[in-house]
Structure 1
Amino acid sequence: MRGSLLLPLLSAATGAMAASGTVWVTPHDSYSSSVGVLGCKVNTDRIAYWPGSIDCTNLCVSLTYEGRTVHLLRVDQSAGAHDVSYDAWNYLYTGFPATEKPAAGGATAMEYEDVDISVCADLIHTDDGKMPLSAPNSMNFLASCLEQEDSWIGSNYVLYNILDPLCTWGHDERCTLDWPAANQASCASGIGTPGVLTDTPVYNIRYPSGDKVLAGSGAVVATGGDPATGASTNEGHGAMGGSMGAVVSVVGCLGYLFL
């Protein structure tokens, strides 16, 4: 859901974001990161998929609607809409998590403000609070940040030998980077070495059912409420598991590598 017909009404340009204003916000139910931020090490229910390239310092936004506020990490770029994680949109719109009382709806005018990255510190789940990036696939973004004097990412990044933002492929190990002497990280298992990851799941909240699903396979792990009533339901939700789930994960990862 993109709300493209409402783009002329946006108060912020699709390039660099202003400090604050009103935007028309739409729900987005599939985690991704155009700069390789690893979903298994951040809160994927609090992500902003907004226009404009990802900044090396301005990565945290506050979004408010009807007295409710959430903070979001900007780690992916949309084609033009102001999408946010479905759970964040649902909480702002209804006051309830999407897994409890899922709602369906379109673009909604909300107030935003760019805030200091420290406000989003609890959304980053690494032990040292540094931004988790894919060692095989984040180097272009990281290099641009390292070249910017005093950028937040340049001083607060950690590289993992994980190939895709959904954390389905690679090795869950930290890598080192001897910058600027080297422009490729060193990893114990060899950078980019394939390996199926099973202990680093990333979950999506499916729109508009509120089902919690494995992002890599689509397998339902918990059902949400009825979109109309908010009542819990366990009917009609099949799971994609076993070998088919693994195939989906591998194909998705290979697709990411060739972007």
Structure 2
Amino acid sequence: MTESRSFALRKTPPLTRSNLWISRLSFLALHVLYCATATHAATTTVWATPHDSYSSSIGVLGCKVDTDRIAYWPGSVDCNNLCVSLSYGDRTVKLLRVDQSQGAHDISYDAWNYLVTGHGANDRPAVGGPIEMQAEELDASECKDLIHTEGHKLPLSAANSMNFLASCLDHKDGSWVGANHILYNILDSICTWGYDEPCELNWPSENQAQCKHALGTPNPLKDDPVYDIKYPSGNKVIAGSGEVVKNGGTPWGDVGGTGQENAAAGGQIVSSSATLLIVWIMTLMSCGALCWV
């Protein structure tokens, strides 16, 4: 005798406002999770440290860029990758890469101080070591607001940047620096010698710029000084002389410690963790809704 079996088709639950709301929320959760994953894939983790003295191995003139937003990254500076964003908690800054470090991910003291505490280094200077942050490479044009020249062209020393500039001008596929630079008759990156005047370069027929005054003349230059914010005092000083022009404000404290000074920085971590928890819960809801449907 053959045993009879009956099979019932699974009925799909009726679509209600509640079900529709859950489905939409589930889709949103998956979208948020996807975006978070995609963003994470485009970023790298670095341990950022404060750097308090402007310099540029490629001859970028500090008197014509924002020296409070500079990155001193490992690896040589090339003709295109000159801009990076750095994030900590809910704060992000853009940084101009103009020099090479010995291995550390150094950034301007003011940028480091702001990312960690929310205050400028001259206002509330903090002390501390490497802090874990998220970095992302950007197109060089994203840092144009950090360059204070007409047309946001990268200001280079006509006397000491020619090797770097020549490599950019000879780029097979062109380069950002090759198309976006301006030469000045200034000898050093902290703008203490030379003449603050633009020069013309007839490349490739000539490999030396033509300036109003003789190129490379060590004329004392005091009209447009470069300023540093010194660690850990927060004093704003003239880079060429060390003369203090503005004392540091109220100290913030040791951001590497566990004192009350770290409450704001710690709050960013809590906030970030809470966001991840919400995404996780919404994802679980999404799985439940999909299985149910």
For each residue in 1:180-226, what CA deviation from the matched residue of structure 2 results, as whole angstroms up to 9, or x when unmatched?
00111111101101211110110000101111000000000000124
Between Structure 1 and Structure 2, the one with more helix by share is 2
Give the corresponding residue for 1:57. Answer: 80
Cα offset, 1:19, TM superposition: 5.5
| Distance in 1, Cα, partners of 2:123 & 2:222 | 27
Match status 1:195 vs 2:192: no
Q: Check whether the contact 1:209–1:226 (CA below 8 A) recurs between aligned residues.
A: no
Counterpart of 1:23 (choices 36, 43, 46) is 46
Change (3 A) 1:228 1:90: closer
Match status 1:33 vs 2:59: no
Match status 1:173 vs 2:197: yes
Q: Check whether the contact 1:61–1:115 (CA below 8 A) recurs between aligned residues.
A: yes
Give the corresponding residue for 1:250. Answer: none
Give the corresponding residue for 2:124. Answer: 101
Give the corresponding residue for 1:236. Answer: none
Give the corresponding residue for 1:120. Answer: 143
For each residue in 1:50-85, what CA deviation from the matched residue of structure 2 results, as whole angstroms up to 9, or x when unmatched?
110101011100000011000000000001100000
Output the amino acid matched with 1:37.
V
Change (3 A) 1:188 1:206: same
Q: Please report the RMSD computed on the Cα atoms of aligned residues, expressed in angstroms.
A: 1.4
Output the amino acid matched with 2:73.
W
Counterpart of 1:205 (choices 220, 226, 229) is 229
| TM-score w.r.t. length of structure 1 | 0.80
Output the amino acid matched with 1:212.
K
Secondary structure at the residue paired with 1:128?
A: helix
| Distance in 1, Cα, partners of 2:143 & 2:88 | 18
Give the corresponding residue for 2:278. Answer: none
Q: Check whether the contact 1:63–1:112 (CA below 8 A) recurs between aligned residues.
A: yes
For each residue in 1:92-120, what CA deviation from the matched residue of structure 2 results, as whole angstroms up to 9, or x when unmatched?
01010011111000001100000112221
Counterpart of 1:74 (choices 64, 89, 97) is 97
Higher normalized contact order (CA 8 Å, seq sep 6+, divided by chain length): 2
Structure 2: give runs of 5+ residues left out of the alignment: 1-40, 255-293
Give the corresponding residue for 1:215. Answer: 239
Q: Percent identity?
A: 67
Match status 1:86 vs 2:94: no
Match status 1:164 vs 2:185: no
For each residue in 1:128-175, what CA deviation from the matched residue of structure 2 results, as whole angstroms up to 9, or x when unmatched?
210000000000000000011220000011000000000000000100
Give the corresponding residue for 1:10. Answer: none
Aligned residues: 213
For each residue in 1:207-246, what CA deviation from the matched residue of structure 2 results, as whole angstroms up to 9, or x when unmatched?
011110000000000001243569xxxxxxxxxxxxxxxx
| TM-score w.r.t. length of structure 2 | 0.71
| Distance in 1, Cα, partners of 2:142 & 2:166 | 25
Structure number with larger C-alpha Rg: 2
Secondary structure at the residue paired with 1:97?
A: coil
